[in-house]
Amino acid sequence: MEKEEILKRINSANKSTLMETLEMNFIDVGEDYLIAKMPVNSRVYQPDGVLHGGATVALAESVGSAASYMSVDHKTQMVRGIIISANHLKSVNEGFVYAKAT
């Protein structure tokens, strides 16, 4: 399957989900990675106008889960996140944030 078709399928699965609400978009996929981006705007701000850490973690979880989903037999296996841990190194209040699952 071509890269564009894979990305189209993954992004179409976001309809009516948290990923759609946070405007996440899967932008690149390869044999051993998947990349998504999310805009930083008022939808994902903390009250003081910077990116909410929970939104960042949601992006990371979404990319990891989607990458895992791509590697299992859907007829016999399900994918669920069990544990996620995050360290926030810098605040941001505009642009995009990116997540890469490998």
Q: Which whole number is the average pLDDT over 57-82?
A: 92
CATH 3.40.50.300 correct for 3-81+90-101: no
**Helix residue spans in the chain (DSSP H):** 3-12, 18-21, 53-69
Q: Is the pTM of this model over 0.85?
A: yes
pLDDT for res 53: 97
Residue pair 67/32 in contact (Cβ under 8 Å)? The answer is no
pLDDT for res 88: 92
Tens digit of each residue's pLDDT (9 = 90 or more) over 8-66: 999 999 999 999 999 999 999 999 999 999 999 999 999 999 999 999 999 999 999 99
Kindly tell me the burial class for residue 49, based on how many C-beta atoms sit within 10 Å of its own C-beta (0-12, 13-18, 19 or more): exposed
Which member of 5, 23, 61, 94 is catalytic? 61
Residue 74 has pLDDT above 90, yes or no: no
Q: Is 94 a catalytic residue?
A: no
Residue pair 62/18 in contact (Cβ under 8 Å)? The answer is yes
Per-residue pLDDT band for 81 (boundaries 50, 70, 90) equals confident
